[in-house]
Amino acid sequence: MKTASPLAARLKRQMQADSEIIQSLTKEQLAGLRKELHAIMQRELHTIRTDMEEQGRRLAGRLLWSRTLLPLLIGLSLSLGILGGSWGMMRYLTGQIRDRQATIATMEETVRELHRQGGKIQFSSCDHRVCVRIDETARPYQDGYRILEGY
């Protein structure tokens, strides 16, 4: 039985050597797989970061538009509308003021002309008839005309 023993020992050593070779090959393959998985994970992480940055830029653009530019555009539109309406109203009212100033000037000229033509006469009621004061110092004119007081 001594012959089986060296064969068993040799088989045992061979199995141990094979086992060590298998373990080292397995470790090498696992290390390679680990490196590949790490590279894949890094690429995916980079892709995720890139996508997140892009999404962040798009959200920042939307935020800029919705929180800043859109209200600014609406505010400018309203301001321009109010400004335009105010300017139009001011032009209209300026025209109205000029028209009224011209009317007042015409009326003042009419009042001056009426004063020259007898507008200073003070009428009264005498025995239920219209009467005026006469300048007693002025001479009478033909057909009974007399100068009124104040002229």
The pLDDT tens digits of the residues spanning 84-124 come to 999 999 999 999 999 999 999 999 999 899 888 877 788 88
What pLDDT, on the 0 to 100 scale, is given for residue 122?
A: 82
What pLDDT, on the 0 to 100 scale, is given for residue 3?
A: 59
What pLDDT, on the 0 to 100 scale, is given for residue 68?
A: 86
- pTM score > 0.85 for this model? no
Mean per-residue pLDDT for 50-65?
89
Task: Output phi, psi for 137, to 5 deg.
Answer: -80, -20
Confidence of residue 4 (pLDDT cuts 50, 70, 90): low
Distance CA 148, CA 127 (A): 20
Does 136 have pLDDT greater than 90?
no
Does 1 have pLDDT greater than 70?
no
Does 60 have pLDDT greater than 90?
no
Hey, what are 116's tokens? 């020259």
Mean per-residue pLDDT for 45-59?
93
Mean per-residue pLDDT for 26-31?
93
What pLDDT, on the 0 to 100 scale, is given for residue 6?
A: 83
